[in-house]
Amino acid sequence: MSPTIAQALAATPHAALEDIAKAAGTTPLEVLYALPEGEVTAFPGRLMVEVLDEMASWGEITLVVNTGPVILEAKAPLQGGSVGQGMYNFKGKPIGGHLKIEACTRVAFVRRKLFGTETRSVQFYDTEGGCMFKVYLGRDAQRQMLPGQIAAFDALEARLLETAA
């Protein structure tokens, strides 16, 4: 890990990875790789479609796109998608759009505090080290992560680890 990333992580350990990357003069993917052991499990981007299709059964999630000056959030279930012309095409509403499959280089399962709150997310990274988008587990009225989604997150991560071995 570069000293600059280490310093930026030490200064703001619970900030968004994009903010830490900006402070360190690097990419969010490099910051992701520098997170403490146990916080990240990264897989090849070719698993993007499989992961998104599996998450369609998880119920309401929070999809986040962080471009720096804009952070967009959508809270809804993913409806799955279809593949066509090299794109993953979300079906359903309110979350829709098209993702260029070959642009995804890493799919990361992340467990970390964000602004002091425990989170779990699946994050999708592009070939330039930027985060395409993140999918955070849903929360109940008391702001607790949903136990069923935690179990689904853990099971998918374990299955991908098993097949990668």
Q: Which residue has the tokens 């985060």?
A: 131
What does the pLDDT read at residue 93? Answer: 84
CA angle at 76 for the pair 70 and 78, rounded to the nearest 5°: 100
Beta strands in 38-157 (DSSP E): 40-44, 60-66, 71-77, 81-84, 87-90, 97-100, 104-114, 117-126, 131-136
| Tokens encoding 35 | 């997170």
Mean model confidence pLDDT for the chain: 93
Residue 2 pLDDT > 70 = no
| Span 56-88, pLDDT tens digits | 999 999 999 998 889 999 999 999 999 999 999
- 11-37 mean pLDDT: 92
- 103-130 mean pLDDT: 94
| Span 29-58, pLDDT tens digits | 999 999 999 999 999 999 999 999 999 999
The one-letter code for the residue type at 115 is: F
Helix H, strand E, coil C: the string for 27-68 is CHHHHHHHCCCCCEEEEEHHHHHHHHHHHCCCCEEEEEEECC
